[in-house]
Structure 1
């Protein structure tokens, strides 16, 4: 293989692949170097939502939106973390990028007909069209590359490898009660067993972030992009002040790869860099990330070594999510991110070590962890506890406890799930004052009875109700009692799904030095780039939206420089 290219991209997530596809579509010779043995990075294990307002997908659905409304909303959420120049670039180039990929690649998205932003009460908040989801993809179309695609989180599959979305889960839980659900479920299961009988290690119906990663991989292959795995980049090559390539270890062999027109850093930020986490994350944080363990800050570290400016996100260094931990008998650990499935449902409450509620349980995952950190300043709240009863867990499950009355004894034996026959017994097992926890449960149940949570407002926003019980015809979609023994609890920790602090760039994704000047030949996107959201989390898909957009911007800027 050649060791000289027009463009060298480091990392195979959405940002890196977007830059590679954009550059290759204009005829440039591109290589993608992936440190892991599999392709897709954080994108492949994500929910796959892409937040870009005012796309042609939304307009085709008749959704009315405007840049002014979006800016008003983002100004309200981000406050002084808003960088108007970068945000304007994102909002203007984002729809352009999405249309480019629609026309020039296998990347196909579907705008959500209804999906409220995370702070729906603020001016300019949207209810539809801004978040998009990848269309499902047939993994068989990847050929042998299907084996090289990073698997989704096992916890988001059933039957040992069948991907399912929220709609699928709802049908699977009702297969014995509804003919339509039985038909839907049987179609999924039969297709999955055909895949396994055909020799595939998992199902080939790809959804969410795995579908997006697959679509990007197929698009890059179709454009002739060279993709090398087990290729760890350890340094940047320079000619004077210009970056002209990378030093890499590919399958254990040291290799220099030249880049005639640009190097793009997209290594996934620093979620597994213990030093940077210790410097930037709040007190009490641990290594509880849901990002791939290969994301150890390589791109950021190499860029800083040659003078790149590191930008601390004004709000939060991480993109937070409450995470529960199952320590298995063999010593391994399984993490589960409590994003949208359980917390907003009726009949679940969260308490700190004092046995008191501290948060609206139905708030966004980012805000939930923010509340954990705030509570921890005065009362130990790491871990906190999600508490429910038998009626709740039978219907909705709880973290790794699957819904639908699935077996849970192994999780109880291993200490992941705490079970008790009474609230005082549960308090004792959690080492919480029994009287305080009983009082908190009583107040929570009273809120469910009157249909209003005066204490923390669970169910008070459109976002809360969106993730509540959609089929509850009586009572509140987010509020329900905790009164049917046995009672259950799961410990949750302040985890993350990635990092927000990163390399400072301009609107063309060019990496800037401490003086604000571009470092010639060096670009960054994805989580290596300082988040345009400044450490806030305004809506579903605010990592993948900027990743695709600024990956596209990097590719376009490289193409423009190559033509000079």
Structure 2
């Protein structure tokens, strides 16, 4: 992979990791006049950010009012108190609200990080006081990958689930147009434009489409800034440990580069931003609830070495949190070569009308249209009464044809390979479907019989599916009387198993409002900063809205860069 070569061994700042937190810190420090090096242990730039949905949650941002949702500090604090409460650090919460809007404005004005506030996107608990119906969550603006030149191949590719035709990125708007391409001229025009651009890219020799969206666009925009600023980045360079002086100040990083161990010195400090520990089996076993497994949607390189290094330097893990991870139900396809493909059931299928989730008894146990985080919490709560890990998502043929189910695509697309692989269950009766999936047949039939009549009337007396604005936001607005409810009645019936996966860890290294790592006495460790999922979540393991990982990552990366450059003058 192409990368910038720089053989110096002393810099003002060394940043470990190349996701949103790390690159935000690197860009800010460079723009504030410091000499910066980014080190990345893989051969790609972008980390978890590049494969994420890309939402960025920052209350009080300067686009919210124009998006139709003026915000106030009192309102944002009220919402965080009603969702995060004592699970999060109150001082860090205030620092986030102070710095977040400033960080986004700085990055917009001085880098290529361009975001657009959503005009309608309810917070995940819209009925709690202080919630907003939009404005707080922003999305990266589409990016032209051709601007990266040869370095486009250096950007980590998005998840295959965010692409069609083998490499054309699509968002929810694109998918709706592509599904309606034969029903609407506007959709046909939109679809043709996308496909022509994509095939033009491939004919030009690109390994995938250059129309870059979602988290991949955010990573690309940050990376483009790194290239423009001439910040050196070393790929395939794992960090092995932090160097400290006799007083405990962090003064450098031990690295493995080109097969040799070297020490790179940092005059001002080191920023640790390696993406958390979702693929560290020992740490998962210690901190995750049971049962757990290798179900994370994060890059498999995220094994917690940044957290380990920070702890070895005197840092401590956060406490008082509501949970160690940010949950998402994940279905698993074992490929012929034995590798496993993980599909995150985030926003596309669970909330749509005509799907239920059941445990091994065939009983429903959760509002299927709740947030992905709350859905997995529901799995864990229910698992003590009956086996709900894995749980089963069940629907009928009308649902699959319109919406698809996980990797089973809608619109009559081939599904036999998924059935043969044991990923997708299909049967002409609910009883046979249950037998295939290891669920009680009588229980599933009983559940569907009880669910269907009120669902046809738009009612869910058991769990209230479709009962709030967030539920309905992800449902089908054209389906009435409830955007999230419809009976399951047309054979064949379909199902997939889902497991308690995550999109990253929330448990991390304690830090202060200047992103400085804190020691066991609560004092900052000189020269050591943390950002991204290595930093203990400001949300304390709660998940109040879309973008609560990337919002703080960009924010505290910026905070770290400013503090490295200006010290106490950057107090926020």
Pairwise TM-score range, normalised by the shorter structure = over 0.9
1:94-493 to structure 2, matched below 5 A, reads 94-240=100-246, 241-312=248-319, 314-472=321-479, 474-493=480-499
Q: Deviations over 1:97-152 (max 9, x none)?
A: 00000001000000000000000010000101000000000000001110100000
CA shift, 1:562, in A, is 9.9
Match of residue 50 from structure 1? 56
Distance 1:328 1:63 in 2: 45
Q: Deviations over 1:337-391 (max 9, x none)?
A: 0000000000000001111000000000000000000011121111000000100
Is contact 2:275-2:304 (8 Å) kept? yes
Is contact 2:67-2:118 (8 Å) kept? no
| 1:36 pairs with 2:30 | no
1:493-504 to structure 2, matched below 5 A, reads 493-504=499-510
Distance 2:61 2:83 in 1: 21
1:525-536 to structure 2, matched below 5 A, reads 525-536=531-542
Match of residue 558 from structure 1? 564
Distance 1:312 1:561 in 2: 27
Is contact 2:17-2:275 (8 Å) kept? yes
Quick one: structure 1 residues 252 and 470, their matched pair in 2 at CA, closer, same or farther if it must change by over 3 Å?
farther
| 1:510 pairs with 2:516 | yes
Distance 1:450 1:190 in 2: 43
Secondary structure of 1:514 counterpart? coil
Secondary structure of 2:84 counterpart? helix
The 10-residue stretch of structure 1 (245-254 or 164-173) with the greater mean CA deviation from structure 2:
245-254
Distance 1:133 1:272 in 2: 27
CA shift, 1:471, in A, is 2.4
Distance 1:225 1:248 in 2: 18
Q: How many residues are matched?
A: 563
Distance 1:562 1:283 in 2: 43
Distance 2:477 2:420 in 1: 33
Is contact 2:278-2:303 (8 Å) kept? yes
Is contact 1:263-1:522 (8 Å) kept? yes
Secondary structure of 2:254 counterpart? strand
| 1:27 pairs with 2:27 | no
Secondary structure of 2:557 counterpart? helix
Secondary structure of 1:311 counterpart? coil
Is contact 1:312-1:502 (8 Å) kept? no
Gaps of 5+ in 1: none
Distance 1:189 1:272 in 2: 36
Is contact 1:93-1:549 (8 Å) kept? yes
Distance 1:182 1:202 in 2: 22
CA shift, 1:49, in A, is 0.1
Distance 2:498 2:438 in 1: 15
Match of residue 4 from structure 2? none
CA shift, 1:222, in A, is 1.3
Is contact 2:68-2:135 (8 Å) kept? no
Match of residue 93 from structure 2? 87
Is contact 1:396-1:403 (8 Å) kept? yes
CA shift, 1:313, in A, is 5.4
CA shift, 1:62, in A, is 4.5
Secondary structure of 2:138 counterpart? strand
Secondary structure of 1:503 counterpart? coil
Partner residue of 2:83 out of 72, 77, 82: 77
Secondary structure of 1:491 counterpart? strand
Secondary structure of 1:132 counterpart? strand
Distance 2:453 2:98 in 1: 48
Partner residue of 1:544 out of 528, 547, 550: 550
Partner residue of 2:22 out of 13, 16, 24: 16
Name the Cα RMSD after superposition.
Answer: 1.2
Secondary structure of 2:445 counterpart? helix
Secondary structure of 1:558 counterpart? helix
Distance 1:456 1:309 in 2: 40
Gaps of 5+ in 2: 1-6
Secondary structure of 2:13 counterpart? strand
Is contact 1:74-1:82 (8 Å) kept? no
Q: Deviations over 1:372-417 (max 9, x none)?
A: 0001112111100000010000000000111222111100000000
The 10-residue stretch of structure 1 (204-213 or 311-320) with the greater mean CA deviation from structure 2:
311-320
CA shift, 1:547, in A, is 0.1
Distance 1:252 1:343 in 2: 47
